[in-house]
């Protein structure tokens, strides 16, 4: 089982550029999440999805967009990259909420210069 | 505001020694508390999940305790190994919080020296 797969692992963007962070899971999980992890800080939720076609904002959604056309895929779109978006991004999935554990991808390290 | 505080920020111990990491939370209403291990350059991996009624949960050499009255948890690592070097993250979930109901601590960075 691959679990949660994220691409790319590293990326450098110039201010104002756009990009999509890819995330796919092969565990047939309903719930998928995007988090960002800044140095010395706890993970912050950007967006989440409770199933195909359903997405909702998390704590820090500004500057990002998501879509969920299939159960497996949950891409994160940065439209106009800003230096404040320099961070490590993690995609995660779970079968449901409550006491279910999250399965995380290995992360995408993004620098905006 | 829901908060999760972890201590210490960082810790260095010798291989083979035991250590205890602390987590205090002010999340309400409490649903469960999780400990994750995050190796450098990797995503977090679940170690334990404890609900209100559970005081202790073990996963190999990792033992988590929970005191819901004082809103404190600890993660005890026994006979540490070099592979235990990682960040350990405490996460607390609120009842009815749904997919956005998790509050993450900043983590404790643990270094095991040979």
Position A93 pLDDT exceeds 70: yes
Which of chain A's residues have a Cβ under 8 Å away from the Cβ of B95?
none
The DSSP secondary structure of A41-55, one letter per residue, reads S--EEEEEEEETTEE
Q: Which class for A93: exposed (0-12), middle (13-18), buried (19 or more C-beta within 10 A)?
A: buried
Contact call for A43 and B104, based on CB within 8 A: yes
CB contact under 8 A, A43 and B97: no
More confident residue, A95 or B45: B45
Residue B101's pLDDT band (boundaries 50, 70, 90)?
Answer: confident
d(CA A108, CA A30): 22
Contact B51, B32 (CB under 8 A): yes
pLDDT band at A1 (very low <50, low <70, confident <90, very high): low
Residue with tokens 């006491």: A99
User: Cβ–Cβ of B41/A106 closer than 8 Å?
Assistant: yes
Rounded distance between C-alpha atoms, residue A99 and residue B108, angstroms:
23
Instruction: Reduce the DSSP state of residue B84 to 3 states and report it.
Output: helix
């Amino acid at each position: 089982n691959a679990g949660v797969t994220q691409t790319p692992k590293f990326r450098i963007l110039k201010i104002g550029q756009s990009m999509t962070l890819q995330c796919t899971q092969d565990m047939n999980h309903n719930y998928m999440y995007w988090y960002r992890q800044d140095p010395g800080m706890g993970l912050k939720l950007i967006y989440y999805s409770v199933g195909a076609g359903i997405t909702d904002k998390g704590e820090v959604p500004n500057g990002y967009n998501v879509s969920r056309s299939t159960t497996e895929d949950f891409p994160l779109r940065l439209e106009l990259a800003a230096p404040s978006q320099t961070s490590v991004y993690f995609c995660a999935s779970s079968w449901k909420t409550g006491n279910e554990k999250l399965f995380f991808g290995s992360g995408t390290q993004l620098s905006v210069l | 505001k829901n908060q999760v505080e972890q201590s210490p920020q960082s810790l260095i111990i010798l291989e083979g020694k035991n250590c205890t990491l602390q987590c205090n939370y002010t999340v309400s209403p409490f649903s469960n508390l999780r400990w994750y291990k995050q190796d450098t350059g990797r995503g977090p991996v679940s170690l334990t999940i404890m609900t209100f009624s559970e005081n202790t949960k073990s996963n190999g050499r990792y033992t988590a305790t929970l005191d819901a009255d004082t809103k404190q948890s600890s993660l005890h690592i026994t006979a540490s190994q070099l592979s235990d070097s990682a960040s350990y993250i405490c996460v607390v979930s609120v009842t009815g919080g749904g997919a956005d109901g998790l509050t993450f601590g900043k983590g404790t960075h643990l270094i095991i020296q040979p």
